[in-house]
Amino acid sequence: MTDAIRENVNRLCALKSRVEDLGKQIGELEAFFLKQAEKDLRDTKIKTVTYTGDHGNVVSATMAATVKMEHPTLLKKAFGKEYAELVTEKTTYSIKDAAKRMLAGLFLKNYTKETIEGVLRQVGLDNDTLQVLLKKVKGINFKKDTENLMRIAKLDRKEAQYYAYFAYEAAVWESFMRIMKGKGGCTQQEIAETLSLVDGAIIVEETPKITVEPSEG
């Protein structure tokens, strides 16, 4: 590891700690002004209040109304044909986190037609150790699975990462096959057709995500 990498890790972690501390302070100050504004605007028609500090510093608080639809049929009944002038109807779809992992794995071909147990048996452990590992390695959290493989199976980091990766791929396939069995279609043709439909139904873009972990000291 180069000095530049080490230095930049330290700088980024230090800045992250400062950002988290500043975020906490900002949250506390904003809460103070929100509480003060609620008090100052209570029983008035005014919706905005401004507080001034030194050197032209200004903090403003505004009471904003958030409208949520609870019973659309009642609103439609109330306004009849003019309902469309008030409301835009949209159908939204939200994919659950577990499904995102599965669908991303299928789309990117990051799956292996194996079970997690089948993958872990390849480590060559005794049955008791294998059973402990099966309770810990789920193919969901790569970092945690790696740590458990190192701690329980006594693998080095490179080996642990290898099996953690294939546990993830196996988890993708297990989830997929569980759904296929649930809908009653597990022939090779049905599996191939479903995978083809998934490829056409979604787009998956891989982007790097940085995780910063400042030291406690």
Q: Cα–Cα distance between 114 and 116 in angstroms, integer?
A: 7
Per-residue model confidence (pLDDT) at position 133:
96
Per-residue model confidence (pLDDT) at position 72:
83
Q: Greater confidence, 132 or 213?
A: 132
Domain ranges of the chain: 3-66, 97-201
- The lowest-confidence range among 6-10, 75-79, 161-165, 189-193 is 75-79
Q: Is 31 helix (H, G, I), strand (E, B) or coil?
A: helix
The answer, yes or no, to whether residue 216 has pLDDT greater than 70, is no
What pLDDT band is residue 212 in, cutting at 50, 70 and 90?
A: low
Q: Greater confidence, 168 or 76?
A: 168
Q: Cα–Cα distance between 183 and 192 in angstroms, integer?
A: 15
Convert the pLDDT of each residue in 25-72 to its tens digit: 999 999 999 999 989 988 888 888 899 999 889 999 988 878 887 888
Element holding 105 (H helix, E strand): helix 97-107
pTM of the predicted model over 0.75: no
